[in-house]
């Protein structure tokens, strides 16, 4: 077994745990809809985090040519999936916690922690892209740098503000962002 195949197992497990939590939370939302009101902004973030988890798994394949894996490189590459996993946990109340009556209250009670953790995803992703080499970073184009700056700034603002209009706009923006990234930048496994 080559090093990439060996190391990708743990990365895949962490990403799968995040996906499992999102899908489990979605199932809980559907089951509890009669006594826990759904909030569409929260629902869009459920979709956003799921898509970010899928893209993170897809993009991890770009490490397959790395021959000189070190423990520190592996730990660094593990940070991004861990961030997304933590975000997936923050999106939902604890299992069996029936004290939460609606997802809007839960969303705004946890938005600071959620967006603070999520904000770390962007600089980690930029460093990850740089570690794959300057030619790889340059191949992402100026839209990658611009998108990273915008995503970091808007995520940091999401952690600070409680403004509902901002959060509505930002949820839709991030959905468009991840869909655009999926098709414009990461459409092939190359």
Judge whether 119 and 155 are in contact, CB under 8 Å: yes
Query: For residue 34, what are its two tokens?
Result: 């009669």
Q: Which of 89, 87, 85, 93 is nearest to 32 (CA)?
A: 93
Q: Which of 59, 49, 60 is nearest to 21 (CA)?
A: 49
- State pLDDT tens for residues 114-136: 999 999 999 999 999 898 889 98
What is d(CA 125, CA 104) in angstroms, rounded to the nearest whole number? 29
Examine residue 140 and state whether it is found in any structural domain, yes or no. yes
- State pLDDT tens for residues 2-55: 888 899 999 999 999 999 999 999 988 888 777 788 899 999 999 999 999 999
Place of tokens 């952690």: 159
Q: How confident is the model at residue 187 (pLDDT cuts 50, 70, 90)?
A: low
Examine residue 129 and state whether it is found in any structural domain, yes or no. yes
**Mean pLDDT calculated for residue range 152-156:** 96
Examine residue 100 and state whether it is found in any structural domain, yes or no. yes
Examine residue 136 and state whether it is found in any structural domain, yes or no. yes
- State pLDDT tens for residues 87-113: 999 999 876 666 677 899 999 999 999
Degrees, nearest 5: CA angle 74-5-50: 70
Examine residue 189 and state whether it is found in any structural domain, yes or no. no
Say what the pTM is: 0.90
Examine residue 190 and state whether it is found in any structural domain, yes or no. no
- Can you give the residue range of the structural domain that contains 51? 3-184
| Number of domains forming the structure of the chain | 1
Examine residue 88 and state whether it is found in any structural domain, yes or no. yes
């Amino acid at each position: 077994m080559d090093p990439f195949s060996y190391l990708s197992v743990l990365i895949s497990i962490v990403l799968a745990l995040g996906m499992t939590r999102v899908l489990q939370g979605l199932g809980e939302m559907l089951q509890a809809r009669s006594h826990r009101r759904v909030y569409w902004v929260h629902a869009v973030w459920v979709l956003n985090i799921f898509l970010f988890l899928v893209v993170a798994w897809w993009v991890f394949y770009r490490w397959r040519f790395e021959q000189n894996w070190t423990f520190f490189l592996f730990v660094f590459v593990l940070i991004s999936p861990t961030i997304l996993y933590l975000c997936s946990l923050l999106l939902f109340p604890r299992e069996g916690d029936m004290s939460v009556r609606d997802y809007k209250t839960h969303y705004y009670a946890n938005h600071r922690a959620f967006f603070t953790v999520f904000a770390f995803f962007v600089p980690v992703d930029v460093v990850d892209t740089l570690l794959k080499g300057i030619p790889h970073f340059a191949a992402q184009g100026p839209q990658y740098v611009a998108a990273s700056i915008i995503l970091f700034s808007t995520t940091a603002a999401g952690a600070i503000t409680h403004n509902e209009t901002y959060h509505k706009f930002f949820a839709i923006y991030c959905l468009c962002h991840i869909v655009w990234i999926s098709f414009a930048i990461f459409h092939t496994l190359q």
